[in-house]
Amino acid sequence: MTGSTPRAVNAIANANGTSAAVDGRTPATPAAEQHSPFRPIRIGPLNLRNRFIKSATNEGMARGGVPSKALVAHHRAMAAGGAAMTTVAYCAVSPDGRTFVDQVTLDEASLPHLRVLTDAVHREGAAACAQLTHGGAFNFLPSLSTGYPLSASGGFNAAGVISGRLFKTAMTPADLNRVAAEFVAAAKRAEACGFDAVELHMGHGYLLSQFLSPKYNHRRDGYGGDATLRARFPAQVLARVLDAVGNRLAVTCKIGVTEGFKGGATASDAVDVARVLERGGAHLLVLSGGMNVESPWTIFGSNMPAAAVEVMQNPVVKFATRLMRLWEPRVTFRPLYFLEHSRQVRKAVAMPLAYLGGATSLAGVEQLMQEGFDCVTMGRALLHDPQLVNRFADGSVLESGCTACNQCVPLMYSEGGTACVLRAPNDVQLNRMPAAG
């Protein structure tokens, strides 16, 4: 799948570039065909067979950091179900960059396991993307190599109310250089084990979004200030990753279109960030929103169920989350809940954009295509039914059965890993078996 020429992960597109074989339905009009989500697309050096991307959803399938056979089966199912690309969630760029111990670190030891995964995805005709992440001050690790967790700025750590790490430290120029190099090394390892793309996680409150956020970034050294200056370090990471792998791998960035709380970054900030990343040569932006600590309901467009709190094992996390439930706003799920914010970014840049957030129906996806989004990224709808893209394509299903109950979220901490509660439970044994061997 790798090589300097555009990779044809599109096993199904026909010679004139339309996707008739994927899309069993005959488009009603040329205009409908022009906007069909089943058309192939090129993202940097990568050809995708259609516009559907499986969003990174922490799988809970790497106990002790070892990718399991369940992780492989999960992503194979997404690929077999018709998505053009499936994203392996939260691949930490270093041990300190993890949020939890049960997460993949993109180190040498992970490579044979991840190779099994990428091979399985490729056999189903899809592409595989590794989400490269550093958690910064948002982590629940028992130990770190630094005294305090790293972030854009030092001082009180809001995430520490949950994690117990009450202070964070501002990254020095040497830290910036080292962490950027860790992203590069992780991207090279992703390439070495067969990934077709890397997604730089710049959202949800992790390290790179701690730079983008006015709440977290108070620097006065050229890496802080307005949204454009706050984007300087994330853009440097992008530049270095592009230099290292960008001719062969698609390099995408997941950003927030709103942080979803007073004093957080807005859609107008997202526009500035998108312009910086467009100038920096990113191949695609995935438009998300919300922050893990301040506004998790914004990420999901709906609240966490009480059950999500009860399965938490860390008593501090459990206590803080219970407390948060007392004042969190009630958010009622609505399809395409980031559309108004994402439109502002769409208007501002010409580069490829992937919409994300409550894409649950074929009509909704078609609307996104009409509005000029290039791809759609889907999380819960594909957890509910990995075959959804195929079913959209053959017309047998027009609307996902996902109820946005968010009960899949606490299951990421369960023995079987992340799953939809409306489906059969995951095979716990499979999740105990290393992917390779």
Ligand X SMILES: Cc1cc2nc3c(=O)[nH]c(=O)nc-3n(C[C@H](O)[C@H](O)[C@H](O)COP(=O)(O)O)c2cc1C
Catalytic (active-site) positions? 206
The yes or no reply on residue 426 touching ligand X (CB under 6 A) is no
Least distance in Å: CB of 221 to ligand X?
28
The yes or no reply on residue 254 touching ligand X (CB under 6 A) is yes
Of 275, 286, 282, give the one whose Cα is nearest residue 251. 282
25 phi, psi to nearest 5 deg = -80, 150
Of 392, 409, 368, give the one whose Cα is nearest residue 38. 392
Q: What is the DSSP pairing of strand 155-156 with strand 127-133?
A: unpaired
Name the residue with the smallest CB distance to ligand X. Answer: 379
Q: Which helix (H) or strand (E) holds 99?
A: none
Least distance in Å: CB of 195 to ligand X?
16
Least distance in Å: CB of 412 to ligand X?
5
Site for ligand X in 72-111 (CB under 6 A): 89-90
Q: What is the 8-class DSSP label of residue 320? A: H
The yes or no reply on residue 56 touching ligand X (CB under 6 A) is yes
The yes or no reply on residue 418 touching ligand X (CB under 6 A) is yes
13 vs 408 by CB, closer to ligand X = 408
Which span sits near ligand X by CB under 6 A: 78-86, 109-117, 230-238, 354-362? 354-362
The yes or no reply on residue 285 touching ligand X (CB under 6 A) is no
Q: Write the burial class of residue 386 (CB in 10 Å: 0-12 exposed, 13-18 middle, 19+ buried).
A: buried
- Residue 9 C-alpha from the chain's centroid: 20
The yes or no reply on residue 358 touching ligand X (CB under 6 A) is yes
Select from 357, 364, 386, 417 the one that contacts ligand X (CB under 6 A).
357
The yes or no reply on residue 408 touching ligand X (CB under 6 A) is yes
Q: How many residues does the chain have?
A: 437
224 vs 301 by CB, closer to ligand X = 301
The yes or no reply on residue 384 touching ligand X (CB under 6 A) is no
Q: What is the 8-class DSSP label of residue 204? A: B
Least distance in Å: CB of 108 to ligand X?
22
Site for ligand X in 129-148 (CB under 6 A): 131
Q: Round to whole Å and give the CA distance between 346 and 371.
A: 9
The yes or no reply on residue 304 touching ligand X (CB under 6 A) is no
Which span sits near ligand X by CB under 6 A: 135-143, 178-186, 240-248, 405-413? 405-413
Which span sits near ligand X by CB under 6 A: 121-129, 210-218, 352-360, 424-432? 352-360
Q: Round to whole Å and give the CA distance between 270 and 268.
A: 5
Of 220, 203, 221, give the one whose Cα is nearest residue 212. 203
245 phi, psi to nearest 5 deg = -135, -5
Which span sits near ligand X by CB under 6 A: 134-142, 147-155, 182-190, 356-364? 356-364
The yes or no reply on residue 55 touching ligand X (CB under 6 A) is yes
Of 240, 244, 209, 249, give the one whose Cα is nearest residue 227. 209
The Cβ of residue 263 has, within 10 Å, a number of other Cβ atoms equal to: 10
Site for ligand X in 2-41 (CB under 6 A): none
Least distance in Å: CB of 406 to ligand X?
7
Q: Round to whole Å and give the CA distance between 183 and 181.
A: 5
Q: What is the 8-class DSSP label of residue 419? A: -
Which span sits near ligand X by CB under 6 A: 324-332, 353-361, 387-395, 420-428? 353-361
Select from 48, 284, 412, 435 the one that contacts ligand X (CB under 6 A).
412
CA dihedral 300, 306, 311, 316 (to 10 degrees): 90
CA distances (Å), origin 105, targets 66, 91, 234, 412, 429: 9, 5, 20, 17, 22
Binding residues for ligand X, how many (CB under 6 A)? 25
What is the identity of the amino acid at 50?
N
Q: What is the 8-class DSSP label of residue 411? A: G
Binding mask 206-245 for ligand X (x = CB under 6 A): ----------------------------------------
Which span sits near ligand X by CB under 6 A: 11-19, 52-60, 257-265, 347-355? 52-60
Which residues make up the interface to ligand X (CB under 6 A)? 55-58, 89-90, 131, 201, 204, 254, 288, 299-300, 356-359, 378-381, 408-409, 412, 418
